[in-house]
A = this chain, B = another copy of it.
Amino acid sequence: MQEDIITKLLNRRTIRQYSDKQISDDMLNTIIEAGIRASNCGNMQIYSIIITKDKSRKQELAKFHFNQPMVEQASVVLTVCADVNRFEKWCLNRNAEPCYSNFLWLNVGTVDATVASQAMCVAAEAMGLGICYLGTVTYMAKQIADFLNLPKGVVPVTTITIGYPSENPPLTERLPMKAVVHNETYKDYSQADIEDIYGEFEQLETSKQYVKENDQENLAQVFTNCRYKKEDNLAFGQSYLEFIKEQGFF
C-alpha cells in the first residue's frame, strides 16, 4: 500500500486538458475532506474554499485567469483563500478581541490554505483525476475577489482546476535533488555549481525548442524576457499587495 502512494507521488503529472466527464459531489466532498484533515495552525482553519462548478461562471472566471483553457474545461475550479474573517467574527461574538488581520496571519493563512490545497490535489490524483495549480489568481486577485464576493479578511492564495484527464503528458524534468537540498547549512552556489545544476536541464530538446520558439539566446532569458518579465512581476506584486491591504491585512 505504502509503495502505491509513493509511486503515485513520484509519477504524477500536472493535467491541463480534461474530458467532459464531471466529478461527482461525493468525490468532491471527499477531496475537500482530505484538505480539511491536513495540518493547520492551532486548528483555527483560517482558510476558505470557493467552488466554481457552474459552466457560465467558469467561463467568466477564466477571463481573470488570462483565458487559460483549464478553467473552463475543468469539472471543478477551487479558489483557496486565506480567511481570518470567520475566525474573527467568532471571536467578536465571544467577547474576545481578535488580532489576525496582519502580516503574520496573512502568512499563516497562505501556508495553511496551501497545505489544504496540496492535500486536496493528492486526494484528487489518487482518484484518477488530474489537477493544475493556477498562480494567476494572485495577478488578478482583486477582480477574482469581486467575482467570488470575498469580504475583508479573505484573500485568494491559489486556484486548482480538477477534472478527468484527457491527456497523458510525459514526466516533467526537475533539477537534480542536490540542487534544492542542503545538509545542515545552506551551501551557496558557486558558478560551477550553477553550471552543474542547470546544465542538463538546458541541454534537453524541450528546453532548446523553447529557447528557439521564444527567439532568445538561452533558457534563462525565456523566463526573464518572456514568461515572467520584470514589469509584470513588479506590477502584479504591487496590485496584489494593494489588494491585500484593502482586505484589511498589514
A interface residues with partner B (beta carbon < 8 Å)? 1-2, 4-6, 8-12, 14, 29-30, 32-34, 36-39, 41-45, 47-54, 57, 83, 85-87, 89-91, 93-100, 102-105, 107-108, 110-111, 114-115, 117-119, 121-123, 126-128, 131-133, 135, 138, 148-151, 154, 157-158, 172-175, 177, 179-189, 191, 194-195, 197-198, 217-221, 223-225, 227-230, 233-234, 236-238, 240-241
Query: Contacts A41-B135, A117-B115 hold; do A218 and B182 have CB atoms under 8 A apart?
Result: no
Q: Say yes or no: A44 contacts B138, CB within 8 Å.
A: no
Chain A interface main SS type:
helix
Q: Cβ of B148 and Cβ of A220 under 8 Å apart?
A: no
Contacting residue for A230 out of B57, B97, B117, B127, CB 8 A: B97
Chain B residues contacting A174 (CB-CB under 8 Å) are 36-37, 43, 45
Contacts A93-B194, A99-B224 aside, 5 further interface pairs with beta carbons under 8 A come to A47-B180, A51-B181, A86-B179, A107-B138, A115-B133
- How many angstroms between the C-alpha atoms of A186 and B247 in the bound complex? 14
Q: How far is the CA of A148 from the CA of B94 in the complex (A)?
A: 42
Most buried by B among A98, A118, A181: A118
**Which residues of chain B are near A186, meaning CB under 8 Å?**
48, 50, 148-151, 154
Residues on B with C-beta less than 8 A from A43 are: 172-174
The reply to whether B138 and A105 contact each other, CB–CB distance below 8 Å, is: no
Chain B residues lying within 8 Å of A11, measured Cβ to Cβ, are 37
Given contacts A38-B118, A186-B149, contact A98 B224 (CB under 8 A): yes
Whether the Cβ atoms of B114 and A220 lie closer than 8 Å is: no
Q: With the chains together, A235 CA to B229 CA distance in Å?
A: 34
